[in-house]
Amino acid sequence: MSIRHIVISIVVVLTSFSCQRSSPQIDELQWRLLYRDTGVYRYEELAIFVRASDRDGPEDLEQITVSAGNTGLIWRFSANEWIKDIGMEEEGAWIGLPAVIPLEGFSLPEELYTLTLEDRTGRDHQITFRPDPNRLRMVEIKWPQARIENGFFLLEEPYEEGTLIFRNEDLALNQVLQVANETAIDVHESAHWWELWIPLPERTSGFRLGPFPLQTTGSESSL
């Protein structure tokens, strides 16, 4: 076989292989706008969860980008930053992203957001969403007051319940509890931090308070 025929054969094979590769797919998107209180700063953040698949295998998924309209604001998250579902080796597993936080100020832009899922070959899939334009403003919020004291979780009105999360010293997940005011809790010795998530009924938003160190068990989330 001549060199020319060999080259043509290689090109045909590579082209055929390339054509067989698939684009990534965003199967479902869920998001929640959170009012965050770290004890030092208060700001809005977006918690985003994507159910994604790729017929070339989940290892082919490489990057997720979130952009805010024409503002020029872009958040990029490579695959090694994703919080992957335990079933990530299967098709259509859920991916959690690090929080999308304001790059300036304390509120996220009121824009149409675009989420782009890319694979290693540069193929992508996009989906758009818009955070609630009628959401509560930072100055309108009544921030929850919560604390852990003498083996009890205490939460002041008007908030009634939430999800209490304990984390190890390295912030790895330790324990998750559904709690209300005056719930008795048993804290694992390995727990070092606690944080609280409170949903706002009838809104795609809520509060995320902490993480706070357990050593200051009398401290409130509004520090």
Q: What is the pLDDT of residue 183?
A: 96
Q: In what order do the strands lie in the sheet with 205-213?
A: 83-84, 93-96, 42-53, 25-37, 205-213, 193-199, 161-167, 173-180
**Residues 189-193, mean pLDDT to the nearest whole number:** 94
Burial of 45 (C-beta count, 10 Å sphere; 0-12/13-18/19+): middle
25-129 against 142-216: fold identical: yes
Going from N- to C-terminal start, the domains of the chain cover: 25-129, 142-216
List pLDDT tens digits, range 77-100.
Answer: 998 999 876 454 555 678 899 999
151: which residues sit within 8 A by CB, 6+ positions away? Answer: 184, 185, 186, 187
142-216: which CATH topology? Answer: Immunoglobulin-like (2.60.40)
Q: Which residues are 31's β-sheet partners?
A: 48
25-129: which CATH topology? Answer: Immunoglobulin-like (2.60.40)
**Residues 91-112, mean pLDDT to the nearest whole number:** 87
The answer, yes or no, to whether residue 59 has pLDDT greater than 90, is no
